[in-house]
Structure 1
Amino acid sequence: MKKVLITGATGNVGIEVIKCLSKVNHPIQVFAGLRNVEQHQKKLAAYNVSFVKFDFTDSTTYKSALQNCNILFLLMPPQVSNIEKHFKYFIALAKAAGVEHILFLSVQGVENNKIIPHYRIEKLIAKSNIAYTFLRPAYFMQNFTTVLRNDMVNKRIIFLPAGNAKFTLIDVRDIGMAAATIIADIKNHINKAYELTSAERLTFGEMANKFSAKLGIKIQYQSPNLLKFYLTKRKEKVPTKFILVMIMLHYFQRFRKEPPISDCIEKITGRQPISFDQFIVDNKALLVN
């Protein structure tokens, strides 16, 4: 029986991949890589999954986690920034361990953006000669239920330096189903890259209007200059590195072409992607105080 290792197994995307694998027919043994097995396995107790200790910041966990692994679902955790130190070594170990296929969670537009670390990771994977599939998702709708939730719920604002830039969106549930479908039929996705988006392209002002209409409360969008954004977030004790990531993700989109809309979700899963309106309805309990 083939084995798939899911890294980031308790994160937003990792959990969805495991959930969706439980809904898809496949003869694959699913392993969740957890930093603390005893502490985190309860989150996945409802699914047919085994557990293995894996921590990207602890290279001593790499070899045992990769043992007998055929398929690797790989993502970049936010706490890992040194690509050469962590990913180059990990990918080399994966090749030595006999990993046959890497499914990497990248980002939309990565092929034209050498600044972001996902670009270098894709290149390392391709250079390894391990078969790969690159998932390049758009802006996560679930950012509003995680990193942006405090502003949404407590201040009723979207506070981001994105101006009037348009963003494509994706619900992580669609990423999970796309990943699970590919894992179950991996031989038909060798050395391919897929942009994952919904059918919408919206500004944050338009998103705020949709939130207001669906939640029944007024959500305002504020686009501060970079200095105000930085100082506001530092006052909230947000780490400087994370503020810079938020600036890179939101501010620089103002100077790029509008991102394309893809039909890859429908082609891979056979169903239409989840709309932003549906995301709001499904997550209403998390979006109001």
Structure 2
Amino acid sequence: MTKILITGATGNVGTEVIKSLQNIDHQLDIYAGVRNSNEDRIKLANFKVKFSLFDFTDFKTYNTALDGCDILFLLRPPQISEVEKYFKPIIDTCKKKGVKHIVFLSVQGVEKSKIIPHHKIEKLIVDSKIPYTFLRPAYFMQNFTTTLHDDLVNKKLIYLPAGKAKFTLIDVRDIGSVSATILTKTSQHINKSYELTCKEKLTFSEMARILSDILGTDIKYKSPNLISFFLTKRKEKTPTMLILVMIMLHYFPRFQQEPQITDWIEKISNKQPTTFEQFATDNKKLLTK
């Protein structure tokens, strides 16, 4: 049986990958890489998975988790940016253990931006000569249920230095669906890279209007200058590293070419990508409390 290790298994993307794999007929032995097996077993109790202790910050767990692993689904936790320290040992262990394929959750536009960690991780994987598939998703719609949630619910506000930049978007559920399809057919996706987007480009002003209509409340969008944004977020006790990531995600696109819309979700998973309107409708309760 082909053994697959899913890293970040209890996060937004990892859970959706596991959920989507339940809906596909396959002969895979799925292992959820988890840090706290008791808590994480409860989170994943409804899925057919085995558990493997895997902690990005604990090098000792790499060896046992990757032992006998054929395919690795790899992502980068937001708090880990030191590629040489953490990801090089993971890739080296993959080579040592004979991992046959790595599916890596990267980011849209990664090939043009050498400063982001994903660029370095992709290069490590390519240099390792292990067959790979790079998934390069657009802006997560689920940022509104996580990072942006407090401002949205408590202040009815989207507060980001994004100006009038247009963003392509993706629902994490679609990433899960595409990932699961690829994991069951890796031989068809060797050394391929896919940008994953829905079929619309929106500014945050337009997203605010859609959210206002669906949630039945007036959501404002405010684009502060960088100093105001940084100081406001520090006052809210947001970690400095997360603020810098938010600036990179939202401010830099103002000076870059508009990202392209692709049809890879439809081609790979054989279904239409979720619209932002549908995402907001499906998550109405979560977006109002």
TM above 0.5: yes
Identify the residue that residue 174 of structure 1 maps to in structure 2. 174
Shift of 1:80: 1.2
Is 1:199 matched up with 2:199?
Answer: yes
Identify the residue that residue 105 of structure 2 maps to in structure 1. 105
Identify the residue that residue 15 of structure 1 maps to in structure 2. 15
Q: TM-score, structure 1 length as denominator?
A: 0.99
Identify the residue that residue 246 of structure 2 maps to in structure 1. 246
Alignment: residue pair count:
289
Distance between the aligned counterparts of 1:273 and 1:116, measured in 2? 26
Displacement over 4 Å in runs of 4+: none
Distance between the aligned counterparts of 2:35 and 2:120, measured in 1? 24
Distance between the aligned counterparts of 2:104 and 2:165, measured in 1? 27
Identify the residue that residue 131 of structure 1 maps to in structure 2. 131
Identify the residue that residue 86 of structure 2 maps to in structure 1. 86
Distance between the aligned counterparts of 2:85 and 2:94, measured in 1? 15
Is 1:31 matched up with 2:31?
Answer: yes
Shift of 1:38: 1.1
Q: TM-score, structure 2 length as denominator?
A: 0.99
- Give the counterpart letter for 1:260 in structure 2: Q
After superposition, give the CA deviation of every residue in 1:208-249 in whole Å (9 maximum; x if it has no partner): 000001111000000000010001000100011110000011
Is 1:158 matched up with 2:166?
Answer: no
Identify the residue that residue 282 of structure 1 maps to in structure 2. 282
1:144-155 alignment to 2 at 5 Å? 144-155=144-155
SS at match of 1:284: coil
Distance between the aligned counterparts of 1:82 and 1:68, measured in 2? 26
Distance between the aligned counterparts of 1:111 and 1:25, measured in 2? 34
- Give the counterpart letter for 2:255 in structure 1: F
Distance between the aligned counterparts of 1:214 and 1:82, measured in 2? 40
Shift of 1:25: 1.2
User: Unpaired runs of 5+ in structure 1?
Assistant: none
SS at match of 1:168: strand
After superposition, give the CA deviation of every residue in 1:152-200 in whole Å (9 maximum; x if it has no partner): 0000000000000000000000000000000011110000000000001
Identify the residue that residue 216 of structure 1 maps to in structure 2. 216
User: Unpaired runs of 5+ in structure 2?
Assistant: none
Identify the residue that residue 70 of structure 1 maps to in structure 2. 70
Distance between the aligned counterparts of 1:253 and 1:19, measured in 2? 32
Over aligned residue pairs, what C-alpha RMSD do you find? 0.5
- Percent identity for Structure 1 against Structure 2: 62
SS at match of 2:285: helix
Distance between the aligned counterparts of 1:93 and 1:205, measured in 2? 45
After superposition, give the CA deviation of every residue in 1:44-101 in whole Å (9 maximum; x if it has no partner): 1101000010000111110000010000000001121110011111101011101000
Shift of 1:286: 0.5
Distance between the aligned counterparts of 2:245 and 2:23, measured in 1? 34
Identify the residue that residue 184 of structure 1 maps to in structure 2. 184
Distance between the aligned counterparts of 2:95 and 2:26, measured in 1? 24
- Give the counterpart letter for 2:223 in structure 1: S
